[in-house]
Structure 1
Amino acid sequence: MSSGRWDQPGIPHKGWHCVDVVDLRADGEPADEADYATCQMCGNEKIRYVHIMEHPDLDEHFEVGCVCAEKMSDDYEGPRRREARLRNRAARRSRWLHRKWRISAKGNSFLNLEGYNLVVYPTKTRRWGYKIGDRFGPKTYPTAEEAKLALFDDFWAATQDDDRLWASD
């Protein structure tokens, strides 16, 4: 394995900060079918979680792995925490359909989580929608399972920082 850009003149080693972290494995995609990235700093060829780093002296972003993100930002907790959050999301999403969904008096599947009422219901057009409290999802879906997963994505985006919701699922 080459040392990548660590040895290139003009590439700063410190002073970077993370713009985003991306999970390259699509939701539900088997590990052997996933496309992985190559770290632009060290050359590691199998990175699933890509940390997008920027530096004030450079115009381009670098896509790197967790270890390089730690070294570049001189932050040895943040990159691991951000990556762990994505790992947790993927694991929780994979279990979402297997939760104990209850059935309402109207026949709709629902969950009540820490004051949130999450509902999946059939529409008049034989598709499926979802509701978070009084807010309806923006689209409908061909199956109840697809609606439940869209509900998860929407609910996660709105509540991912709420530890009381995600601590025990």
Structure 2
Amino acid sequence: MSGNRWDQPGVPHKGWHCVDVVDLRADGESADETDYATCQICGNEKIRYVHIMEHPDLDENFDVGCVCAEKMSGDYEGPKRREAKLRNRAARRTRWLQRKWRVSGKGNSFLNLGGYNLVVYPTKTGRWGYKIGDRFGPRTYPTNNEAKLALFDDFWAATHDDDRLWASD
């Protein structure tokens, strides 16, 4: 569904609520490989960050860009803030492998961040796992770097709302 729906009868202009925001660029994907979306309100064809909007009078949700999300919700700060959080996550994940990882006495790579001990270690089967504090990751990975990126994803999911932790990164 595309095209300009601002003038379409039955499509409310106000009273919308943001359900979620999704980054369409997969981790590690280049801009050329990204499958962008089209805003279902204004028809803009190159949206990377999709704001999923719902309205109490409609059964369907609309996938829209930041500007339309602002207009639809009447919130001119929230959509930008949610989109910025996704941009920050992508940038931090890109830099994650370049961080200064230390090596423990056992030979494991680790970081200490905001009171969290993050460890990547080789398993007995020749694969790689990770720990966040005392909690082990649910899977193992073929390479050290894949385990580090999985650790980032898990750690971000658990701590992304902690501004104290992520403010200086």
| Structure 1 stretches lacking a partner, 5+ long | none
Shift, 1:101, TM fit: 0.1
Distance in 2 of aligned mates of 1:80 and 1:63: 15
Task: State the secondary structure of the residue aligned to 1:71.
Answer: helix
Report the equivalent of 2:52: 52
- What are the superposed Cα offsets for residues 72-115 of structure 1, whole Å, 9 maximum, x if unpaired? 00000000000000000000000000000000000000000111
- What are the superposed Cα offsets for residues 119-144 of structure 1, whole Å, 9 maximum, x if unpaired? 00000110000000000000000000
Q: How many residues align?
A: 168
Shift, 1:3, TM fit: 6.0
Report the equivalent of 2:151: 151
- What are the superposed Cα offsets for residues 6-43 of structure 1, whole Å, 9 maximum, x if unpaired? 01000000000000000000001001111000000000
Report the equivalent of 1:124: 124
Report the equivalent of 2:6: 6
How many percent of aligned residue pairs carry the same amino acid?
88
Distance in 1 of aligned mates of 2:9 and 2:164: 47
| Structure 2 stretches lacking a partner, 5+ long | none
Task: State the secondary structure of the residue aligned to 1:8.
Answer: coil
Report the equivalent of 1:19: 19
Question: Any residues of structure 2 matched to 1:1-169 within 5 Å, and which?
Answer: 4-169=4-169
